[in-house]
Every structure is written in structure tokens, then in C-alpha cells.
Amino acid sequence: MTNRLPEWMLRDLSLPRLRRYIRAVHGDAPAAERLYWWNIEASAALLGPLHCLELALRNALHNALARYYGRPDWWMVAPLNERGHKLVNDARRTCGRRLSRITPDDVVAELSFGFWVSLLSHGSGYDRHFWVPVLHSAFPHYRGRRDSLYRELTSLVLLRNRVMHHEPVHHRHLSADHATLYRVLGYLSLELAKESKTMDRFPAVLAGRADVLRGARPPRF
């Protein structure tokens, strides 16, 4: 087997993208190819749990804020910072390009994972305006500090973005990421965390990494 990536792979996937995998395996081209495919396999396996977390988080925070402010479009009266208002306005414009009538649910679905996580930050007094009076109640199974929860969620935003933008995740401590994901999901809903685990194939994918990298089994996604 040649120690060079196939020409079609260099053409179709691009050397700048593949170079990160080549460096990770110290120039071993066959290993770089296997690592690339395993990275896709791992990212695909993480998509389901990340899906559950993102939807559960945004629904929990939205429902808590809608109750607190007494209206489903709570962002119209809540003390969002400048960036928060921009993200809401961007979401509304995006909805307006494809919908004749925009509902609060449309805006909620359009807002990013990063927006929802930012509501738990210390910035612009969000800890006082949001966490203390209302958002702590969105995590019925959490008794820790806001800043600890925010750090966990920020790490998961980075993981989610790498998965969704087809970036490398193989270099991360993926077993720790996976544990954090389920820990935070459990803060929101023990039932959803339990159900998600019954369908989660990521542990098997992670356990099979060494077999894929040495060529003992083909990657699958």
C-alpha cells in the first residue's frame, strides 16, 4: 500500500483539510485516511445525543422565560445584550425570508445552540437577570453553580459546532465529552437522557477506534 493518499481523495476532500489528519498520524497516509473516515463515524454517532441536548435545552429555557415574562416572544421585553438582540433579529429576518407569518416557535427553532447557552453566562448581568430569578428552574436535576454548568455547555457548543461543520473531533477527549453531554442532558430530563442512551452507538464507535486505525475493521457511517 502506498504511503500517499489517493488522488481522488486529495481532489474531492482537499489537501488543506486532510493535512490535519496526516499530521495527527505523523505522515502515515493510510492511517490518515482511516482516521479521516473514523472521524466521520464518530461525528455521526454523536449527532443523535447532541440533537437531544440542543432541543431539550432550548425548549427548557424558552418555556421558563415565556412563563416568567408572561409572553411567548419574551425576547421583546427581556434584558438581552446587544449581541443577543442581534441574534434574535437575525433569526426573525431568516424566518421572514421563508415564512409569510412568523410565530415565536419559528424564532425559537432558528436561534442557535450558542445563543441559548449564552443566556447562562455572566456577561451583561445575565446571571442576575436570567439565572437567579428563572433559568435555574430549567434544570430541575442540577444543584451546582451557574458558572460550572456554563463551562460544561460551552464545551459542548464547541463539540457540536465541530461535528456540524465537519471538523476534526478525533483529538478531543471524546469519552469525557460524551459523559458531559449525558450529565447535562440529565440535568434537564432524566427520561430523555435514559431514552437517548438506549439508542446511542457512540460508545461502540469509540471502543472500535483502535481497530479502525490499524485496519482491522472498516469504518462505517
| Residue 29, in any domain of the structure | no
Locus of grid cell 455572566: 122
Number of domains the chain contains: 1
Q: Contact, 81 vs 124, CB < 8 A?
A: yes
What gap in Å lies between CA 75 and CA 104, rounded to an integer?
10
Is residue 177 pLDDT above 80, yes or no?
yes
CA 125 to mean position of chain CA atoms: 25
DSSP letter at 22 equals H
Q: Kindly state the average pLDDT of the residues 171-197.
A: 98
Helix H segments across the chain? 7-13, 15-24, 29-69, 82-98, 104-110, 113-118, 126, 146-164, 174-188, 190-199, 202-207, 209-213
Range of the domain at 132: 47-200
| Residue 40, in any domain of the structure | no
What gap in Å lies between CA 14 and CA 214, rounded to an integer?
23
CA 123 to mean position of chain CA atoms: 21
What gap in Å lies between CA 189 and CA 56, rounded to an integer?
8
| Residue 139, in any domain of the structure | yes
For residue 3, what pLDDT band results from cuts at 50, 70 and 90? confident
| pLDDT tens string 133-166 | 999 999 999 999 999 999 999 999 999 999 999 9
Q: Kindly state the average pLDDT of the residues 171-189.
A: 98
| Residue 51, in any domain of the structure | yes
| Residue 101, in any domain of the structure | yes
Residues of the chain with pLDDT > 90, as a percent, come to 97
CA distances from 6 to 18, 29, 100 (A): 11, 9, 49
Q: Contact, 32 vs 24, CB < 8 A?
A: yes
Rg (CA), the chain: 20
pTM exceeds cut of 0.85? yes
| Residue 214, in any domain of the structure | no
Name residue 215's amino acid: G
What gap in Å lies between CA 156 and CA 120, rounded to an integer?
14
What rounded mean pLDDT belongs to the chain? 96
Is residue 25 pLDDT above 80, yes or no?
yes
What gap in Å lies between CA 163 and CA 47, rounded to an integer?
7
| Residue 20, in any domain of the structure | no
| Residue 4, in any domain of the structure | no
